[in-house]
């Protein structure tokens, strides 16, 4: 059975470009972003890992640790990292996980046999500090991920954890948010002093509480 939202992210130990890690120990009290790549020295993956490296400051602001898994060994990962750093002007400082035995890929259901019997799809897992899976996305091998969307979802998840709100379609940080239906309207005005806009009794907006 594939992993579902709210499941505990399966723990594992693996060799990586920063040494051997235990996933749960590595994450500690941080959020985690686990990304799978079909193989080393492939073009779309090269652009994605370069972009992940360029965005490390943004991930750190959000207390997110990034990890990459590919079904190749650590030596290949190091060689590929040099290419990625050269192309993108970055220094990769997060772990690239070696998964030649496909332990991690199978644990996280990253290999879809009808797409490829051996290569992983482009999986995305966002893991919260309680080690719960909060987001899963699956892209085909030919399509690079949208990192703006990944950051947007992390922003939404972290906001929702802090306040009793939800985020509407196409929401971005700073936009109005939706007040939880668990809060009565008479109580919402007190909890959200920036104001309440009621469209329907079940659809009520308030300004982003983080602003």
CATH assignment of the domain containing 42: 3.40.30.10
Single residue among 96, 114, 145 that ends a domain in this structure? 145
C-alpha to C-alpha distances, 74 to 46, 69, 143, 182, nearest whole angstrom: 16, 11, 25, 49
Catalytic residue among 45, 64, 98, 159: 45
Task: Give the closest residue to 121 by CA, choosing from 102, 134, 149.
Answer: 102
117, part of any domain: yes
pLDDT confidence of residue 164: 87
Provide the CATH number for the domain around residue 175. 3.30.1020.10
Whole-number pLDDT of residue 106: 87
142 pLDDT tier (thresholds 50, 70, 90): confident
Residue 117 has pLDDT above 50, yes or no: no
Its domain, for residue 18, covers: 13-145
| pTM for this entry | 0.92
Question: Would you call 189 a catalytic residue per the annotation?
Answer: no
């Amino acid at each position: 059975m594939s992993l579902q939202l709210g499941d505990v992210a399966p723990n594992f130990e693996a060799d990586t470009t920063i040494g051997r890690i235990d996933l749960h120990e590595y994450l500690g009290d941080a959020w985690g972003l686990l990304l799978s790549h079909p193989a080393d020295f492939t073009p779309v993956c090269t652009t994605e890992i370069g972009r992940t490296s360029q965005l490390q400051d943004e991930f750190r602001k959000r207390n997110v640790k990034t990890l990459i898994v590919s079904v190749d060994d650590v030596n290949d990962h190091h060689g590929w990292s040099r290419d990625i750093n050269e192309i993108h002007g970055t220094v990769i400082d997060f772990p690239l996980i070696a998964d030649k035995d496909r332990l991690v890929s199978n644990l996280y259901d990253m290999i879809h046999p009808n797409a490829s019997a051996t290569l992983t799809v482009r999986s995305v897992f966002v893991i919260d500090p309680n080690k719960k899976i909060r987001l899963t996305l699956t892209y085909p091998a030919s399509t690079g991920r949208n990192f703006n969307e990944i950051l947007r979802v992390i922003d939404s998840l972290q906001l929702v954890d802090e306040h009793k709100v939800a985020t509407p379609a196409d929401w971005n940080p700073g936009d109005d948010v939706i007040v939880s239906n668990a809060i009565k309207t008479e109580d919402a005005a007190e909890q959200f002093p920036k104001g309440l806009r009621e469209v329907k009794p079940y659809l009520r907006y308030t300004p982003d509480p983080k602003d």
